[in-house]
Chain A
Amino acid sequence: MEKRIVRVGHWFGALALLGLGLWTVLVISAPPERIQGVVQKILYVHVPCVPPAYLGFILTAIGGLGYLRTRRAAWDRLALAGAEVGIVFCTLIVVSGPIWAKAVWGHWWVWDLRLTMTLVLWFLYVAYLFIRALAFGSDTARTFAAVYGIAGTAVIPFVHYAVRLAGGSAMHPSTPASGGTLPASMAYPLLAGLGTFLLVFLYLLTRRFEVAGLESRLLEAGGSSEDH
Chain B
Amino acid sequence: MTGPRIALAVLWKDIRLDLRTRDRLGHMAVFSALVVVLLSIALPTPTAETRPWLPVLLWVVLLFASLLGLTRSLQTETEEGALAVLTLAPCDRGWVFLGKGAANLIALLGIEVWTAGLFSVFLGLAWGPALPEAIWAGLLGGVGLAALGTMLTTMATSARFREFLLPVLLFPLALPVLVIASRATAEALDGRSVPGLWWGALALYDWVFVVIPYLTFDYLLED
Contacts and interface: CB of A to CB of B under 8 A. Distances in A.
Contact of A150 (B159, B160, B171, B212): B212
B212 A152 contact: no
A148 interface: yes
A134 B161 CA distance: 7
Given A123-B172, A148-B155, A162-B179, A154 B165 contact: no
A138 B180 CA distance: 36
Interface residues of B, number: 30
Q: Is the interface of B mostly helix, strand, loop or mixed?
A: helix
Contact of A165 (B198, B213, B216): B198
B186 to A, nearest CB: 10
A131 B219 contact: no
A166 B183 CA distance: 7
B60 interface: no
B155 A147 contact: yes
Given A148-B155, A152-B173, A165 B183 contact: yes
A151 B212 contact: yes
Given A144-B223, A166-B179, 14 more contacts: A124-B173, A131-B159, A135-B160, A136-B159, A139-B223, A146-B219, A147-B212, A152-B172, A155-B175, A158-B201, A158-B205, A159-B175, A162-B180, A162-B201
A163 interface: yes
Contacts of A158: 176, 201, 204-205, 208
A112 B208 CA distance: 26
Report which residue of B161, B171, B172, B176 has the largest number of chain A beta carbons within 10 angstroms of its beta carbon: B172
B169 interface: yes
B98 to A, nearest CB: 16
Given A155-B173, A159-B175, A130 B223 contact: no
A165 B213 CA distance: 26
A110 interface: no
Nearest to B162: A134
A42 interface: no
Given A143-B223, A165-B183, A127 B216 contact: no
A132 B78 CA distance: 21
B158 interface: yes
Contact of A143 (B168, B173, B176, B219): B219
A95 interface: no
Interface in B178-210: 179-180, 183, 198, 201, 204-205, 208-209
Contacts of A166: 179, 183
Contacts of A148: 155, 169
Contact of A135 (B158, B175, B201, B219): B158
Interface residues of A, number: 32
B176 A159 contact: yes
B222 interface: yes
B223 A163 contact: no
B121 interface: no
A124 B171 CA distance: 9
A134 B219 contact: no
Contacts of B198: 165
17 contacts: A68-B216, A123-B171, A127-B168, A131-B155, A131-B165, A134-B159, A139-B223, A143-B219, A144-B155, A147-B151, A150-B216, A151-B151, A159-B172, A159-B176, A162-B175, A165-B180, A166-B179
Nearest to B212: A151
Contacts of A184: none
Contacts of A154: 208-209, 212
A73 to B, nearest CB: 15
B131 interface: no
Which of B159, B165, B183 has most A Cβ within 10 Å?
A: B159
B172 A124 contact: yes
Interface in A88-123: 120, 123
Nearest to B223: A140
A16 B223 CA distance: 41
Contacts of A140: 158, 223
A151 B209 contact: yes
Contacts of B38: none
